[in-house]
Structure 1
Amino acid sequence: MAYFLGIDMGTTSIKAVAFSKNASVLYRYAVDNETIYPCPGFAEQNPNAILQAVVHCITEMVSHLQQSPLCISFSAALHGVIAIDATGNPLTNCILWNDTRAAGEASALHQNGMANELYQQTGVPVHAMSPLCKILWLQKNKPDIFKKTVKFIGLKEYLFQAFTGKYVIDTSLATAMGLCNIYTLQWDKAILALANISTQQLSEIVPASTIFFNRNEVLPQWANTIPLIIGAGDGPLANLGMGIIEDDKIVVTIGTSAAARRTVSSPRLDANMQTFCYHLEQTTYVMGGASNNGASVLQWLRNGILQTNQRYTVLVAETAHIPAGSEGLLVLPYISGERAPLWNAHARAAFLGLTQQHTRAHCIKAVMEGVLMNVYSIILALLKTNPQVVGIYAGGGFAESAEWVQMLADITALQVHVPATVETSALGAVVLGANAIGHKLTITTQNNVTVYQPNLVNHVVYQKVWLQYHAALLQLGLLKKPLE
């Protein structure tokens, strides 16, 4: 049975998903990742552990299906940085997207007036997430490591160097680094000068559909003839995996983090620097906003506060009798600082309006609502550029929760479509890979099989909640000015 293999290198896990020639899921296998938090605000992963997890997923997939894939394509989280020495060994762990150690460097760029210029050139809002800011942090705080660094790379680059012996990066991940010109798709020499690095310290930028082959012994020998397609970032690929190629639809994905994105045909930026814009392939770009706080907030509530190992489906089921708005309980979900729309690494979470009448079920529902209120603020920023949006397309783990998806429909008053598979980033990678090796694989929005209609009574309630949410952000100083 012929199949395509997509590898999704997420923050929480490495997932291998086998797709048939008609894009049906044949088999899925995942390995959980360990994230290390050595200091407050730090978030790291061991690149060798990630490499071994990917290899394990690939070999497990082939062992289970008893056949090699037609190709292997890769999706990866954005914004990670690893410092590599002259022997090719890591000098650091991978500093992840949700690591906020470089908040001071980001603030300095805002204060000296450079942030807007950098955003206009790169499409990346200046924030602690940005590899540019992380490199500046290393230069200031770890000068010995900075001087020894021959390459600054991400996890997928580390993987491909191990497989092929080459340092390569796709245009999608490159444009998310804050070092690449969004218009030329090349490293920006002026920005590299600001970071005090050279083009030789970065990987070669290649198109997302570029084919490589394994040349080392990291993968088994049988893998040497299988095309390895470099792929792209997980967010842009989720749009592709849902067949969203028009700009009148918005994709919302919620996994560890959360994001809302639109597909556009040319770089498009926001006057207030609220949204990003990254390249995908050819004339396809993705604009949107990513939040640090997705299902990770519900995970924190379950593990850290409720201290239970109950499944999320059980927790969500407890909220069935709680009305929209959680009877006045409001949650600001910023347990990990925030990217869009606040771009404030110092943002903190809060429960507001808590009273004796509120139960644990209220807290669970209010957390779910708080995550979506922040996503809604990103959606509103996207609607400014095209108010004629006809629907939302949902992906990521949250799309498996009918209650959470219905809540999104109620908050936005838009239809929410859920595809046949929530593994949309892996599917997007497979679309790139299949097409690269000559197998036409096209995903359209007709593949979305479940549609959630908004409850307009609940929408009226949520509009009042949104006003309270927005007012709280202003009152607490998390917003410098109202969201337009």
Structure 2
Amino acid sequence: MSAELLVGIDVGTYSSKGVLVSLDGQILRQHVIPHGISLPAPGHVEQDAEEVWWADTVALLRELLSGPYSGADVAGIALSAIGPTLLPLDREGRPLRPGILYGVDTRGGAQIDALQAEIGEEAIFAHSGMALTSQAIGPKMRWLREREPEVWARTRTLTTASSYLTFRLTGRHVMDHHTAAHSMPLYDPRARTWSAGFAPPVLGDRGLELLPDLAWSEELAGYVTAEAAAQTGLREGTPVAVGTVDALSEAVSVGAVNPGDLMIMYGSTTFFVLVQEAPTPDPRVWTVGGAFAGQHNLAAGMSTTGSLTRWFVDELAREHPTGEAYNVLFTEAAGIAPGADGLLLLPYFSGERTPINDPRARGVIAGLTLAHTRAHLFRAVLEGVGYGIRQNIEAFRDLGADVRRIVAVGGGARTRTWLQIVSDISGEAQVLPGRTVGASYGDAFLAGRAAGFLGPEDLNRWVKIADTIQPNAAPKADYDRLYGLYRDLYVQTRPTVHALSRSAG
């Protein structure tokens, strides 16, 4: 067999996934490896780059390239991962500490305040097209410089998860434009390049030489080295795409690549990617680049959604195995009427990203009575996420962004109960692709682009829509009223939960 297969690898928050795909989009093999996260301190969320990111990548490749397949069959590979994350490397490219995760890690609050005081909020927004939030990597770079000076002194490269994996395969440090945009205030989205103007407040006396090269996700990063080939089973010289964050590859995987397409990824967090013809910057959300050269994206993200249901299962459904517990809980929740009999939940269990951008927000459950059951609580969890999704969609439309089609994807999108709740709350239809493998499938397509085998139009052959979730009219009035209460509840409880957040460290 000639080299006509494509590999996609995605390293997510709680698992890593790999697929082996033919040039026409048929999945030949796939494999999943679960893993965890580390919570070393309140607000700190980390993963080990060597023991999780790279080890999972090697294990997935060894599994995919076994039996009837080998590295000689692979025409190209692309990798995505959680992001934007921060990983410092030494001069040999070795990690100096665990990776600091994306917006669920809220450690950079003091550094955000300092950067805003030194540069100015308006100046940062004017330069970056985004406000500084827990999603931003610039403040976490400053945190590393201030809080871990020994690590900082040894750092020669500041990279992210997908870029680190691409480096391990190719020996080249390169980052995609989508991820780089979150390194504000170091990235200039107009010039599509690193910018030294605001570097000193972030990097101190270090310069932009700490940062990787820049390229588009679909471009060629380099080729598999002899060392990487020996570890992974890939063929030396195999083309490697630049890659990107998992959410952007997820959008590619379901064909959300045309202006007006909004992908909602129901994962450990909920992530939104809206493709635009022209950017519409707003401090509530994120203005970033797309996967394909020259594209504009508007992005947003909630901090705790799938991970909230996972917490619920682990803490309140221990009598069932995990997979069975989800089935039980979703069945129970489907039997509860909209509104959960007066329960309302704010899903801010790890702070919240867009559109409130409040790392000190916390989960709130309001309206509990002795009549409420576990089923009511789980229904309130699903509805709380639904209200947050509606708030993000409304934020897009408030700033004039054009949302024409919503595509649902991710683990939560396999549960019709949750999708129907979201459509009923938001009043929005959601289309479902026939194949929802996830970001790894989008990675495989990016691999085909980088290797020169696929054009953008080939995505139409890879992705077919199978179903549409239409909103029900009956619960609209109740959900509209509860949505208003949801927004009020955050404002009214904010002083209390902020005080509790400070008291917890």
TM-score (norm 2): 0.89
Aligned counterpart, 2:216: 207
Instruction: Please state if 1:286 is matched with 2:297.
Output: yes
Q: Does 1:469 align with 2:472?
A: no
Query: 1:47-196 maps to which residues of 2 (within 5 A)?
Result: 47-49=49-51, 50-67=53-70, 68-97=73-102, 98-110=104-116, 114-178=120-184, 179-195=186-202, 196=204
Q: CA-atom RMSD, angstroms?
A: 2.2
How far did residue 166 of structure 1 move? 1.8
Residue 307 in structure 1 maps to residue 318 in structure 2: yes
User: Aligned residues: percent identity?
Assistant: 24
Q: Could you list the per-position Cα deviations for residues 136-191 of structure 1 after superposition, in whole angstroms to 9, with x for gaps in the alignment? A: 11122122222221111112222222222222212222122222111111111012
167 and 310 in structure 1: CA distance in 2 versus 1, 3 angstrom threshold: closer
Could you say which residue in structure 1 is the equivalent of 2:474? 457
Please say if 1:296 is aligned against 2:299.
Answer: no
Q: Distance in 1 between matches of 2:476 and 2:26?
A: 34
- 1:37 equivalent in alignment to 2:58: no
Aligned letter for 1:253? Answer: M
Q: Retained in 2: the 8 A contact 1:391–1:414?
A: no
SS at structure 1 position matched to 2:453: coil
Q: What is the one-letter code of the residue matched to 1:382?
A: F
Q: Is the 8 A contact 2:280 2:401 kept in 1?
A: no
Structure 1 position 478, deviation (Å): 7.3
Pick closer, same or farther for the CA change 1:456–1:89 going to 2, 3 Å: same
Deviates more, 1:244-253 or 1:398-407: 244-253
For the 8 Å contact 2:268–2:305, the answer to whether it is kept is yes
CA apart distance, 1:378: 0.6
Partner of 1:247, secondary structure, is: coil
Distance in 2, matches of 1:446 and 1:201, equals 38
CA–CA distance in structure 2, aligned partners of residues 65 and 295 of structure 1 = 35
Cα distance 1:38–1:420, how it changes in 2: closer, same or farther (>3 A)?
same
Q: Answer yes or no: is the 8 Å Cα contact 1:335–1:349 preserved in 2.
A: yes
CA distance in structure 2 between the partners assigned to 1:156 and 1:326 by the alignment: 40
**For 1:222 and 1:241, how far apart are their aligned partners in 2?**
23
3-state SS of paired residue (1:392): strand
Partners of 2:22 and 2:28 within 8 A in 1: yes
- Unpaired runs of at least 5, structure 1: 480-484
In structure 2, distance between residues paired with 1:310 and 1:9: 21
- Matched with 1:443 is 459
**More displaced stretch, 165-174 vs 233-242:** 233-242
Q: Does 1:320 align with 2:309?
A: no
Counterpart amino acid of residue 10 in structure 2: D
The 1:340–1:65 alpha-carbon spacing in structure 2 relative to 1, beyond 3 Å, is: farther
| Mapped partners of 2:401, 2:87: distance in 1 | 40
> Which residue of 1 is the match for residue 500 of structure 2?
none
Paired residue total: 477
TM-score in terms of structure 1 length? 0.93
In the TM superposition, residue 73 of structure 1 has moved relative to its aligned partner by 1.2
Letter in 2 for 1:27: R
Pick closer, same or farther for the CA change 1:329–1:110 going to 2, 3 Å.
Answer: farther
